[in-house]
Structure 1
Amino acid sequence: MKDIVLGYDGSDFSMQALDWALDEAELRKLPLTVAHAWQWPYGDADEDAKAHLRKAAEHVLWHGAECARSSSSGVRVDTDLYEGPAAQRLVEISGGAELIVVGSRGLSALPRAVVGSVAGYVAAHADCPVIIVRGPGPLPAPTNPGPIVVAGKDPEAAVLEFAFGEAALRQLPIMSPADLTEPAARHPGVRVRPYDGTEHPTLVVVGRKRGATNSLLRHAPCPIAVVGTS
């Protein structure tokens, strides 16, 4: 069974991502793996110093897993602790994941950065769809959620399938400037209508190869799903 993987570092951004990842796990009836990576940043170090940092990393991971377990309704929560770059580990385990969820920035991101290096790297290289959680307030919004929006006028099949899957799980409409006739026929329970830009989306879905991806990651006011295409 595949799992939902959460990249977690204890930041406010990763707490937002935890909320979203747990929601995905509950909707999809899949286990959640909370993943945390650590590494000694100062060159050579004695084992005692590294052991102290590892202990701190274990505490961060424990906190994330406990938050998930205390907030879930029966989701199995596993953990993954890795010594090394976080982006590398998330890409490494993405082949066995249904979905990776990360915050838009982590603890190490510069204050003016909109998308952290981990989120950007994982979105560009993961073997599964990646949701980058950004936007104001707690996510996903519990009341009056907006539509799932498909970016681009000619989205690839994988992008459409993911978007329709999310819309079906969340019982939300899909909006897109593209013609969605064929995938809509395979998902008769999902309402489809043109996107006019007046509603705040719950999620924007985009293909990895589209030139608009980087712009969306910097400016979208809501979570973005990046889906790899052939």
Structure 2
Amino acid sequence: MRDTRSVVVGYDGSDFSMQALEWAMDEAELRKLPLTVAHAWRWPYGEAGDEAKMHLRKAAEHVLYHGADCARSTSSITDVTTDLYEGAAAERLVELSDRAELIVVGSRGMGTLARTVLGSVAEYAAAHAHCPVVVVRGPGPIPVSPHPGALVVGLTRDTHDEVIEFAFREAALRLLPLVAVHAGPPQPGVWGAPMPPVLDARDAEEDMLRHLQPWRERYPEVPVRATFVAEAAKSLLLDLSRQASLVVVGGARGRGRLGSTTRSILQHGACPVAVVPALRDGPQRSGPADGPLTSDASEG
């Protein structure tokens, strides 16, 4: 079994999964990692003979190999493998996340149907996966902008270092500026040691930058801006997503329970969204210790 972790993309042949495949190929190339193209299938019509199921399996194989061929022929990735699974796609993605660097899935966008589809695959993976999950929105190829937007990371009192590390690394890989945002009333010493009372947004932003200093030193090539706004986190992140290249948020608080703001961004955000879980062995902080915050961008 290979020791190197891979980028895993859920692929079903749809335009939405083609967009996810393009994002996953970028990630694999930027990170110099193998790519795994995964497809799940199952017989939906009740009892059936092996021959009937075999026809469906052959169709699933065709879909999967088409995705893998696209990756091999349109990217510089030298190690592209496939994973064909009989069963639930969402559960298989979570299984694969145990040995993945990143999971990438597509989303059909907004609306009742979209929320149903999102809940069955992308949201389940985002809530349960053991590695970051990127949900790529919309159909077809990803538009390549000559002026891509910044990477936005939402910070709360409970933001784990893994979230910040992922955001800085992704910004460095994609040569993007990083905007760290927090919404809510400013508080003294929210990011570290006790401080004099925070008087205004500027003080809160400077406090955030001090908290981010270890990562700013680790990734000096990433321009960083801190933004504090005394408004609802959902509204702020949704608004920023309209111009951003990627929004990064923290994962589930408890097993399978995403906060209302994270779910809202997944369902309605205008750009790809990365959901980053905390390490399963518990928080390991490389930055300053957290202090109390008064608002929660993952819980809303």
TM-score over 0.5 (shorter chain): yes
CA drift of 1:59 comes to 0.4
Query: Residue 165 of structure 1 corresponds to which residue in structure 2?
Result: 169
Confirm whether residue 98 of structure 1 aligns to residue 130 of structure 2. no
Q: For 2:121, what is the secondary structure of its paired residue?
A: helix
| Deviation (angstroms), 1:36 | 0.3
Residue in structure 1 matched with residue 223 of structure 2 by the alignment:
191
| Structure 1 residue aligned with 2:272 | 223
- Displacement after TM superposition at 1:136 (Å): 6.9
Task: Name the amino acid aligned to 1:194.
Answer: A
Structure 1 gap segments, 5+ residues each? none
Number of residue pairs matched by the alignment: 228
Matched ranges for 1:49-198 at <5 A = 49-105=52-108, 110=113, 113=116, 115-135=118-138, 138-139=141-142, 141-154=144-157, 155-178=159-182, 179=208, 180-195=212-227
Query: What SS does structure 2 have at the residue aligned with 1:81?
Result: strand
1:206 alignment partner in structure 2: 249
CA distance in structure 2 between the partners assigned to 1:112 and 1:79 by the alignment: 28
Q: Match for residue 4 of structure 1?
A: 7
Task: State whether residues 153 and 176 of structure 1, in contact with CA within 8 Å, keep that contact through their aligned partners in structure 2.
Answer: no
**Quick one: distance in 2 between partners of 1:214 and 1:111?**
13
Task: Give the 3 Å change call, closer, same or farther, for CA 75–144 of structure 1 in structure 2.
Answer: farther
RMSD in angstroms over aligned alpha carbons?
A: 2.2
- Counterpart CA distance in 2 for 1:118 and 1:168 is 29
Tell me how far apart the structure 2 counterparts of residues 181 and 12 of structure 1 sit (CA, whole Å): 41
Q: CA deviation at 1:52?
A: 0.5
Instruction: Say whether the 8 Å CA contact 1:140–1:202 is kept in structure 2.
Output: no
Q: What TM-score do you get using the length of structure 2 for normalisation?
A: 0.71
User: Residues 135 and 45 of structure 1: is their aligned pair in 2 closer, same or farther, counting only changes over 3 Å?
Assistant: closer
Q: Secondary structure at the match of 2:274?
A: strand
Measure the CA separation in 2 of the matches of 1:90 and 1:83: 12
SS in 2 for 1:4: strand
5+ long unaligned stretches in structure 2: 183-207, 230-238, 253-258, 283-300
Supply the distance in 1 between the matched residues of 2:274 and 2:181 (Cα, whole angstroms): 17
Q: Deviations over 1:116-170 (max 9, x none)?
A: 5111110000111000001476326352111110023443211000000100101
The CA distance in 2 between the partners of 1:137 and 1:146, in whole Å, is 19
Quickly say closer, same or farther: Cα 1:136–1:89, change in 2 above 3 A.
closer
Q: Percent identity?
A: 61
Distance (Å, rounded) in 2 between the aligned partners of 1:135 and 1:81: 24
Are the equivalent residues in 1 in contact too, given 2:18–2:139 (CA < 8 A)? no
CA distance in 2, matches of 1:110, 1:60: 23
Asked whether the 8 Å contact 1:105–1:116 carries over to 2, the reply is no
Give deviations 1:45-102, integer Å, cap 9, x for gaps. 0111100000100000011111111111143210000011111111111110000000
Show the counterpart of 2:20. 17
For the residue of structure 2 that corresponds to 1:176, the secondary structure is strand
